[in-house]
């Protein structure tokens, strides 16, 4: 890469350089390029770097006759290397990135550049659109960070941006990019998360509420979505996440690191565990490297995660750290084969699993029952007789283990007392007469009993101050119940006020 001095724009250099890696996107790349060339930017260059396309992508590129477009071929394999090559050839004062199957809305780059010029920040980030075959939505709908213009943001002020590490909804000041030494890594997927984590750690940035990018979420065998759960993809993703976590730790900001570790364990890591804990893959050696990567990062993150990580998730991660993947599967995978492993295990073997993972036996077994068995009885009308009998037998077997009954509520204890030999007709009648599932308010109180003293204050405050409003919110956002009940007193009380509709600032909308 050229030196920083070489990269300073001259009067002939463009205002904005857009780097676009391509690979087998012939069906969409022309539309993507035209959406960029139609931007009303004073001067723009588009550097397309092909990463070994085997479809008609290169044919499409060869037919584009515009002096602003440069087409390169990457000699290395991977989208990260393609982006790095494009950056090395870029001459613009600002950098942007786009993928060859997406779209850039009209006026997007103008808005981002105007903001960067006005405030002088190193990076400007905007809201974006996600469109799937059967759905269209914005990022703001799922991650409320883009509702208004915001200036001078840093991770210490707003760590939630670490949940949004895509490279294409933003622009960068080129001198800042070079000074920070940012580079993309090569991985089967998620090859921009390291670069964007480094950018967040290095830069002060602004946010604009306008939609500045349209991301196409493709399905099918050739899509990134289809490949995300392969052993290579899972390993590559967590290898990148490990580098990201090291970057965040180097900030030496305990609050940011704690938020990041907790958020990753509650969301991203959890979402990737499925293939590693499914009954069909537990003994599959091709996932061993991926399991090692996940175990390593979970071990590191658990040292920082806060008290909101409890119950099923905490038990799963403790089992992973101990290398007890069969036990982790019992908490994470609800398949018949996985649960049957637990049922077939002798009392001594099961206790060894829990002891090795540092999990108390009775609460652990109760949590497995709660997620794998008891929940299914809420819809017994749709359940086959064979499945009904099987689940009742499991509930009786595991619920009868020493101490487990004390961890169950009245409904769960009654189910665990049923005898599968009574037959499906009698069992259905007994289940219909069982106490109803606990309402949300009771579940909140349950969290409070297992949480800190402040959590109990939150539960009672929520019930007294704004019962209807709080419960309505909790029905739609059960994960918030858990977070409200286990955060620090200051944030917990603020969360209750927000749910009650008494918050005065938008910045308080989500407890950190």
Per-residue pLDDT of 96-152, as tens digits, reads: 999 999 999 999 999 999 999 999 999 999 999 999 988 899 999 999 999 999 999
| Token code pair at residue 206 | 């602004």
Instruction: Tell me if 49 sits within 8 A of 83, measured CB to CB.
Output: yes
Instruction: Tell me if 269 sits within 8 A of 320, measured CB to CB.
Output: no
Say what the alpha-carbon torsion angle 36, 39, 45, 47 is, to the nearest 10 degrees. Answer: -10
> pLDDT confidence of 189, banded at 50, 70, 90?
confident
Chain length of the chain: 512
Q: Is the pLDDT of residue 504 over 80?
A: no
> Which SS3 state, helix, strand or coil, does residue 395 take?
helix
Q: Which letter does DSSP use for residue 157 in this model?
A: T
> pLDDT confidence of 437, banded at 50, 70, 90?
low
> pLDDT confidence of 211, banded at 50, 70, 90?
very high
Average of pLDDT values for 411-430? 93
> Which SS3 state, helix, strand or coil, does residue 418 take?
coil
Q: What is the pLDDT of residue 287?
A: 93
Q: Which residues contact 222 (CB under 8 A, 6 or more apart)?
A: 24
Q: Is the pLDDT of residue 510 over 60?
A: no
Give the pairing of strands 16-22 and 170-173. Answer: unpaired
Smallest Cα–Cα separation from 452: which of 485, 404, 424? 485
Q: Which letter does DSSP use for residue 366 in this model?
A: H
Mean residue pLDDT across the chain: 83
Smallest Cα–Cα separation from 506: which of 126, 145, 259, 141? 145
Q: What is the pLDDT of residue 487?
A: 43
Q: Is the pLDDT of residue 201 over 90?
A: yes
Q: Is the pLDDT of residue 491 over 80?
A: no
> pLDDT confidence of 377, banded at 50, 70, 90?
confident
Q: Compute the distance between CA of residue 338 and CA of residue 330 in angstroms, rounded to an integer.
A: 6
Instruction: Quickly tell me which residue has 């490279």 as its tokens.
Output: 167
Instruction: Quickly tell me which residue has 């993947």 as its tokens.
Output: 325
Q: Which residues contact 167 (CB under 8 A, 6 or more apart)?
A: 83, 97, 184, 192, 195, 196
Per-residue pLDDT of 8-66, as tens digits, reads: 445 478 999 999 999 999 999 999 999 999 999 989 999 999 999 999 999 999 999 99
Q: Which letter does DSSP use for residue 133 in this model?
A: T
Q: Which of 293-302, 320-329, 334-343 has the lowest mean pLDDT?
A: 334-343
């Amino acid at each position: 890469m050229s030196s920083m001095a070489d990269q300073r724009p001259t009067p002939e250099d463009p205002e904005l350089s857009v780097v676009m890696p391509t690979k087998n996107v012939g069906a969409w790349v022309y539309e993507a390029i035209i959406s960029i060339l139609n931007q009303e930017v004073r001067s723009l260059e588009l550097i397309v770097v092909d990463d070994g396309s085997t479809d008609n992508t290169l044919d499409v590129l060869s037919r584009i006759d515009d002096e602003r477009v440069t087409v390169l071929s990457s000699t290395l394999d991977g989208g990260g290397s393609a982006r790095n090559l494009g950056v090395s050839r870029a001459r613009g004062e600002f950098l942007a990135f786009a993928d060859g199957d997406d779209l850039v809305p009209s006026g997007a780059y103008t808005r981002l550049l105007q903001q960067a010029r006005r405030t002088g920040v190193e990076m400007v980030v905007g809201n974006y659109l996600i469109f799937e075959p059967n759905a269209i939505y914005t990022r703001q709908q799922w991650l409320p960070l883009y509702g208004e213009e915001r200036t001078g943001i840093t991770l210490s002020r707003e760590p939630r941006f670490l949940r949004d590490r895509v490279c294409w909804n933003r622009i960068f000041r080129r001198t800042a990019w070079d000074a920070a030494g940012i580079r993309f890594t090569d991985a089967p997927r998620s090859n921009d998360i390291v670069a964007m984590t480094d950018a967040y750690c290095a830069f002060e940035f602004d946010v604009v509420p306008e939609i500045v990018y349209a991301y196409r979420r493709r399905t099918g065998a050739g899509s990134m979505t289809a490949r995300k759960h392969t052993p290579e993809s899972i390993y590559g993703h967590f290898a990148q996440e490990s580098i990201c976590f090291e970057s965040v730790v180097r900030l030496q900001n305990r609050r940011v690191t704690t938020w990041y570790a907790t958020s990753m364990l509650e969301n991203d890591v959890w979402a990737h565990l499925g293939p590693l804990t499914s009954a069909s893959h537990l003994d599959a050696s091709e996932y061993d490297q991926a399991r090692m990567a996940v175990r390593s990062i979970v071990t590191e993150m658990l040292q920082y995660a806060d008290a909101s990580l409890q119950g099923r998730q905490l038990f799963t991660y403790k089992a992973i750290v101990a290398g007890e993947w069969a036990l982790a599967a019992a908490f994470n995978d609800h398949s018949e084969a996985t649960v049957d492993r637990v049922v077939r295990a002798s009392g001594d073997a099961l206790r060894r699993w829990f002891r090795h993972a540092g999990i108390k036996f009775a609460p652990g077994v109760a949590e497995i029952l709660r997620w794998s068995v008891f929940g299914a009885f809420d819809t017994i009308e749709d359940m086959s007789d064979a499945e009904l009998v099987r689940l009742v037998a499991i509930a009786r077997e595991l619920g009868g283990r020493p101490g487990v009954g004390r961890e169950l509520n009245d409904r769960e204890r009654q189910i665990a007392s049923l005898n599968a030999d009574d037959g499906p007709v009698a069992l259905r009648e007994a289940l219909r007469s069982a106490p109803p599932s606990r309402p949300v308010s009771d579940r909140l109180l349950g969290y409070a009993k297992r949480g800190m003293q402040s959590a109990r204050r939150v539960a009672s405050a929520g019930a007294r101050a704004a019962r209807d409003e709080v419960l309505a919110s909790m029905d739609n956002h059960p994960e918030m119940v858990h977070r409200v009940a286990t955060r620090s007193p200051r944030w917990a009380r603020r969360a209750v006020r927000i749910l009650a509709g008494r918050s005065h600032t938008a910045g308080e909308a989500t407890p950190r």
